[in-house]
Chains A and B, each alone.
Chain A
Amino acid sequence: MMNDNNQSEKIIKNLQEDWNQLEKLSTSEEPSALFLKDNLQHYQSRKKKAFYRELKLFMITAIFLLSCLSILAFQTLYIIAIIEVASIIVAPIVYFMLMRKQEGKIFDDRN
């Protein structure tokens, strides 16, 4: 157990020394304010473009769905109207035919 702890400590010490050496090696200069600002603006314009593209897609989908729904609604109204007109015309005929049938039946019964 003690040996494990000693080993761990040694490992951590070695790593810390290596990381310190690595820090000393890095020579990267901090980017200029102009460069960073330019990057930010470029990113913002890219985001703006992406936003408008998504907005366009959203609008197109929304319009498509709305028009589909309204067409369907109008068609439904049309179908209801046809059914109503048809029933206005067909219902008296059916009624008349049923009456005739009923009358025929009565005559047959009397005979």
Chain B
Amino acid sequence: MNRKGGIKLILENEKKLIILAKKGNEDAFVNLFQLHYSFLYKYLLKLTLNEETSSDLAQETMLICYEKLNSFNGDSKFSTWLIAIASRLYIDQLRKQKRETNWINQTKVALSRQLTWKAKSQGIEWSDTFTDFNNLEAEFRIPILLRHYYGYTYEEIGELLQIRPGTVKSRVHNGIKKLRKEWTFHDE
């Protein structure tokens, strides 16, 4: 079977699972979630840089998704819908953290010890840009990641994050501008 046919089959299977899950079939919902777990987890990992936090957020996303499944109308892909929920959850979590800790201290995201160790053992090195990127606020990081890694359009990101496409565009632009400034600083 060619690749196109395979994708079509997967999408059809996904549709069937969504219909069943909407009818209250827990097994179908679990299957549906398992199909997208890896995608969701990897997306969260790129934001949190922590395996445990990503896994916890993925679980929470599943519960919200289960609760709001009937509001999913199929206009977008199921994976996109999951990412939208996960992004909002992540932003909420950061806000909570900010409230709980000192509000002056900006919450910085750094690679977890486990991932640092794994990277070292595999000889992986990160670019300076990666550290600078992870020091950016979530409002810049999320649109940049969605635009330049997942290839979503500004309109799609706007829908995902419930902001105007113009705002998304300016956030991506300003985020990269900030990274460029740091880049020039490193070069000097």
Q: Which residues of A are at the interface with B, using a C-beta cutoff of 8 A?
A: 4, 7-8, 10-12, 14-19, 21-23, 25-28, 30-31, 33, 36-37, 39-41, 43
State whether A14 and B130 are in contact (beta carbons under 8 Å apart), knowing that A19-B149, A26-B45, A43-B63 are contacts in the complex: yes
- Residue B168 at the chain A interface, CB threshold 8 Å: no
Q: Is the CB of B129 within 8 A of A11?
A: yes
22 CB contacts below 8 A, A to B, read: A7-B183, A11-B176, A11-B179, A12-B176, A15-B127, A15-B144, A18-B129, A19-B46, A21-B126, A22-B42, A22-B49, A22-B115, A23-B46, A28-B41, A30-B37, A30-B38, A36-B34, A37-B27, A37-B30, A40-B29, A40-B62, A40-B63
| B contact residues around A12 at 8 Å (CB) | 148, 176
Interface residues of B (CB under 8 A from A): 26-27, 29-31, 33-34, 37-38, 41-42, 45-46, 49, 51, 54-55, 59, 62-63, 66, 115, 118-119, 122, 124, 126-127, 129-130, 133, 144-145, 148-149, 176, 179-180, 183-184
- Say whether chain A's binding surface is mostly helix, strand, loop, or mixed: helix
Partner of A15, one of B26, B33, B59, B148: B148
When distances are taken between beta carbons in the complex, the residues of chain B under 8 Å from A10 are 183
Among the listed A22, A41, A43, which residue makes an inter-chain contact with B46, where contact means beta carbons less than 8 Å apart?
A: A22
Contacts of B54 in A (CB 8 A): 28
Residues of A close to B118: CB separation below 8 A = 25, 27
Complex contact B51–A28 (CB within 8 A): yes
Given contacts A14-B130, A15-B129, A15-B133, contact A22 B30 (CB under 8 A): no
Contacts of A19 in B (CB 8 A): 46, 145, 149
**Distance, CA A4 to CA B124, complexed state (A):** 28
